[in-house]
Structure 1
Amino acid sequence: MAVPILLAITGAPWEAEVVRRTERAPGLRVVRRCVDMADVLAAAASGQARAVLIAEDLPRLTADAVAALHARRITVIALVDPAGPADGPGRIPGSEERLSRMGIERILPADVGPEDLGRAITDAVDAGPPVTTSHFAGGFVPSLGAAVETATQRYDELSGSGRLIAVWGPTGAPGRSTVAVGLATELAASGVSTLLADADVYGGTVAQMLGMLDETSGLAAAARSAGSGSLDVPTLARQARQLDPHLLVLTGLSRADRWTELRPTAIEAVWSTARSLAPCTVVDVGFCIESDEEISFDTLAPRRNGASLVTLEEADEIVVVGSADPVGLTRLIRALHDLRSVVPSATTRVVVNRVRSGSLGSSPGDAAAEALGRYAGVKPSALLPLDQAACDAALTHGRSLAEAARSSRLRKAMQQLATTVATDLLT
């Protein structure tokens, strides 16, 4: 039986010839010719095709679009212009590499013969599209040049072996950003090259906490590069800001209504690239991990919590932050159960923040540990004392605790947490 395919090569100089060869290719049946990516996705939604043959420069071709096709079990085959070298006229630089980063595994020259084309598409369909963890609804201080050069050297050394640490916690502002910034800056201060990223789609504050302008989001820029298939280690290094020799920062969204810029597929690619940029990546993650079940029928609908979910799933370790008061501990215990249902295999490290005498009695640390052990079955890895003066000093000057309140109790507790994390990273 012939394989039904979609053709999407409108505007390519070799369009007419490819159409003729495709129609003569054995085992293939062209069911529709599409003009752009939106047309492809609409046709794919009808279920009338099992593969799509696409031009390398098709408008709106992104990693998200490829992932959406894969989620529908549609194989994607790309055609590239065979004329000239990769950087020659009429050819997108690094076409094959760019398409591969988008998730397209089958890439053929546009002058491929009918027999070879038919065989390649049939084999690709038989093998099936790659397994995807798409989070569409329904789917599951050196100079900048020195920073890029250093990043390239790290790429050769790390080869994707860097660790990803997500800092997450329930609603109620328990101090996720404070812990994320403190952990990242302390790791950097100890000599561990670290990338700090703000992926909170509801209100990231990392840039403000560190006294950085946030008109341009580094993470959104990296996500756009990932979506177009152009993200690599040097590009990610350029889109980050370097605060000291061991700390790079990817700033977050300047406005919460820009959350659609952080598509899950692109964010997953950013974290994959980050593993080759730094030995440790610390990500500040938004509180909400609901899966938006009410729009699960629409595989193309954007999902606000998709970036958070994919970050938690990709993380090697999740630092779960809660506050030391009756309401905060209740939320923390419930959040731990919710996290286990969403990411059953997650490795967690529980941090209780703002520990103080008062609502938990004269021994708040013991009370918090007892509650967590009884109702969540975990022990806190760190008890961070409430030190408002130190936090105020850091915020006032736009500096880390290590710079603004070096000898504070909170800074020392954060330093101890970072030491433990660094030890685990190196073992």
Structure 2
Amino acid sequence: MDLLIKNAFVVDPTSPFHNQKVDIKILKNIISEINTTIEDNQIENLNLNNLHISKGWMDSSVALGEPGFEERETILNGLEVAAKSGFTNIALQPNTNPVIDNQTIVSFVKSKAFGKATTLNPIGALTKQQEGKDIAEMFDMKNAGAIAFGDYKKSIDNANLLKIALQYSQDFDALLLAFCNDANIKGKGVVHEGITSTKLGLKGIPALAEEVVLARNLFLLEYTSGKMHVPTISTTKSVELIKEAKSKGLNVTCSVAIHNLVLTDEVLNEFDTRYKVNPPIRTEEHRQALINGVFDGTIDCITSDHHPLDIEHKKMEFDMAKDGTIGLESAFGTLATILPVEVIVEKLNAAKTIFGIENTSIDINQPASLTLFNPEGKSVFNKDLILSKSQNSAFLNQEMKGEVYGIYNNGILNIK
């Protein structure tokens, strides 16, 4: 649809209109004009309160369930949630049933998302059935539209398999995701190992469980000269390891989950399973290290790590509950309580570059992929604001700042 966006404050350092309030005219999904004032009553005019506009955001880790777990979330509703939460692109995790480990399933999920405002970008499983034994059909999946390859929330225990995958993936410039968690060190742990876990009598997960695997994976990356993205790091040492690897010139990027940036393990005092996530919410020391990593560029992007789960898998004993929280709806509002707007926009947009998605600036003759939001105002996140089918949010009753209006992408305006 053609659209005239009125009085929009541009937040895009790559644009010549950065930090300016302008009108933006979009014709056939292309920005045709940007000026202080544009008048055109022949197309729809959009004028929203304190409208700020940026390049479209991308969430690098979204689980939706379909196919196989539609009771948790469907692709269609998940894309609607993403659009109204400000995301023009999502990277879909392969933890479906059947697992996204072949070109047929990649094509299926992409077909389900056809014609929607938010673009769905599938991540293919790195190993068949995410079992960590045999490398999946990466080349075929990439040809079908997969943007990267990784087993969701599963480390590759076999170092040689990961080494071979890093070498093989270079033949077709594929990005590998390497989640870091030593299952033996984690054992039966369910929360961060520390004072809080001891007080509550819950089995702890040492930071070492993440760090020892990350160190190994970075050695493999250095050996193979491959390309690796490390999703959702959560410890002080992990930030240091990534920073050191980058200083060596290794082709490595990483993300952090919003709940690890905002919350500490003190929220566990009520044994609320909404806070059971993987990696676990850790201490203030780790949280501050992650925030510092965001500011100094060690951490490349921020993800909601959106993982819908039905009530049967969450409302139960802490040890038995599944890991995961939804996070799309609360992403911007939560981050705005701890980070400047410019940093939030940068880190929510950065995944596009990492995953090889077109990332054009807000400029004339460029495709329009835009997020619309208001950075001001305060509210409390409650169940009425949850758009997902599942309601397992770690941010219920948390104070939020600002509001997301929605997106313009793929020639479609999708706003609340």
Given the two structures, how large is their TM-score scaled by the length of structure 2? 0.33
Choose between structure 1 and 2: higher helix proportion: 1
Between the two structures, name the one with larger relative contact order (CA 8 Å, sep ≥ 6). 2
Greater C-alpha radius of gyration: 1
Choose between structure 1 and 2: higher strand proportion: 2
